[in-house]
Amino acid sequence: GNPGVAQASLSVDPKAVPDPLIAPMAAMQGSIAHDVQGQVARGLQVGWAATQDRAQAGWAVTREKAQAGWEVARERAYSGCVAARERVDTIREGKALLDRGGRAVEFAVLAKVAAREAAALDAGLGESAARAIAVLEDAATQLRAGREPAEGLPDGIGGIQDYEALAEAFEVRAATYRRLLDSLKALPPAPRMSAVEEDAARILQFKAGCHRAATKTLEGCEAVKERRCRSPCDSRQAWC
């Protein structure tokens, strides 16, 4: 041999020799990256599916609530229309009752109204008297309790000497109210009124109110006219 050829054949580029760990690590990194990407993709798919399910469920619930609300609103509107129609019919029946019966029906309806108002007022007075008895007796007790330490009170609190007399007066009044209540007998119930009679009564009360207003207006005009006539004025401004 040629020594030059032998030297050339024995020289090896170190970069051409692969490291035994490089290839396995590269393969492992590629596999891990692929697995991570797959997991991320599957997570996104699951999350998107869950979001869609929730959105659909929420839309279904919202639609059901809206439908239920619409049904309730429609039922209330229908009930309101029915009630209004019945109310108008009742008012018409009340007016027809007055038209048919004339003055006799007016007197009968107004008598029921007066009886009902009287019974309500009587019941209210009885309740007020019962409360007054309790308040008067309690005040009498406190007046006597407030009079006891009169010797130890500082200057500036007067009228202690009148506590006893006032307490006795309160007790007498409470006893009078109690005897009055005990002597009263329960009133018979006021006559009941139908819906038609109630509306007839309202019509009569409205007419009475209009009549009173017109009467007061006329009386006011007459009073103004009378004052104008009595006051000195020229012929152009005089009303009389």
Q: Does pLDDT of 239 surpass 50?
A: no
Mean pLDDT of 73-98: 71
pLDDT on residue 56: 79
- pTM assigned to the model: 0.48
Q: What is the pLDDT of residues 22-72, one digit of tens each?
A: 555 555 556 666 666 777 777 777 777 777 777 777 777 787 777 778 777
Six-digit token string for 49: 């599916």
Mean pLDDT of 212-236: 71
- What's the CA gap between 111 and 205, in Å, rounded? 12
Burial (0-12, 13-18, 19+ Cβ within 10 Å), 129: middle
Q: Are 127 and 135 in contact (CB under 8 A)?
A: no
Q: Across all residues in the chain, what is the average pLDDT?
A: 77
Mean pLDDT of 101-126: 93
Straight-line distance from the first to the last Cα atom of the chain, in angstroms, rounded to the nearest whole number: 164
Mean pLDDT of 100-126: 92
pLDDT on residue 8: 44
pLDDT on residue 124: 94
- H helices then E strands: how many in the chain? 5, 0
- What's the CA gap between 176 and 184, in Å, rounded? 13
Q: Does pLDDT of 97 surpass 70?
A: yes
Q: What is the pLDDT of residues 162-184, one digit of tens each?
A: 889 999 999 999 999 999 999 99
